[in-house]
Structure 1
């Protein structure tokens, strides 16, 4: 009686295999937490060798960064929609809508972001926030800031750096004081950026 042989591993296109690895990484991070998942576990979930994982990704951090990008892109796209939908001239409403959007995404519940909030993931959390803030500030710079500058003098220097400190600070404030009123956040933004609230004809 002949001994059965194992079926050869199914050959897949590089893009398909790449997507499988990313999907498995997302699942494992959600199930076990970022800090507890190894490349070996990811390879086992996909059904490939560790070497094949490293063929697509230089290290585990590259996989983490890719998952970061999913969440960052979601927030940046929301900022773009806010910018496209805001009512020209109504600076107060635009600021309040932006604060509401900011708070919504900051408090959005998913396993990945909840896991990042654990003390053992402080380094990863800071890396994630830094990348997210830089992406958000860049999107604001090429949309909202340029639109505002066409109608007003921007009364601050180092615009990008000021926006970075502002957004990073707002994240820290809302995390440490989740009950802070939206109007307080609006006032902080307005005062920090020296915004001209103007009249109904003011353009933002």
Structure 2
């Protein structure tokens, strides 16, 4: 008896590489978190959206918390990449311009750009949002330490002690202030950075 091949009614299974499948699961998770909220989304929901079994989801991600971690990591990576781009575009000696663009960067990164990021700031997601902020601050301060601080130290004396700790406090503070009081003027935020890092007044300040 001759074996029959697949007919038109036989579903065709799409083969994905591990990276493609992982990205597919993460994309579906983002969509569902944005649509239903993090707490109301289950692994079964995610598997159904992708069109795979729950077991295959667990093959890539241990549990829902691991999926949340992966999504937060992607947002943190985006934040760090923006800091790296800012650092690469700095003009030597133009501290005021660098500070202005840095504040713009923080505002842009903290502005909800998709439903999920907006949802992270809801009260029921406070714990997840604090995880994101903690990771973002750690990664951003690491980036500043390897790039901006080292470059500045080669040309100037750093007038503050406990550099890493000071940057951590500063970044936490900027995030909290911009989130709670988005109406705060850029000149105020720049002034706070100058005072915290002992950079002195801007050159155009007549009291300088």
TM-score for the superposition, normalised by structure 1: 0.88
CA contact (8 A) 1:106 1:171 kept: yes
Could you tell me which runs of 5 or more consecutive residues in structure 2 were left unpaired when the two chains were aligned. Answer: 1-6
Count of residues paired in the alignment: 197
Provide the alpha-carbon RMSD of the alignment: 2.2
CA contact (8 A) 1:92 1:197 kept: no
Deviation at 1:12, TM superposition (A): 3.5
**Correspondence for 1:94 among 78, 88, 98:** 98
CA contact (8 A) 1:89 1:199 kept: no
| SS of equivalent to 2:155 | coil
Instruction: Report the counterpart of residue 17 of structure 1 in structure 2.
Output: 21
Instruction: Report the counterpart of residue 31 of structure 1 in structure 2.
Output: 35
**Correspondence for 2:122 among 118, 130, 134:** 118
**Correspondence for 1:62 among 66, 86, 109:** 66
**Correspondence for 1:162 among 147, 166, 170:** 166
**Correspondence for 1:103 among 73, 97, 107:** 107
User: Which has the bigger relative contact order, CA under 8 A and spacing at least 6?
Assistant: 1
Deviation at 1:93, TM superposition (A): 1.5
CA 1:7/1:94 → structure 2, altered by over 3 Å: closer, same or farther?
closer
> Does 2:53 align with 1:49?
yes
> Does 2:172 align with 1:172?
no
Distance 1:176 1:10 in 2: 46
CA 1:117/1:198 → structure 2, altered by over 3 Å: closer, same or farther?
closer
Deviation at 1:110, TM superposition (A): 1.3
CA contact (8 A) 2:112 2:118 kept: no
> Does 2:124 align with 1:127?
no
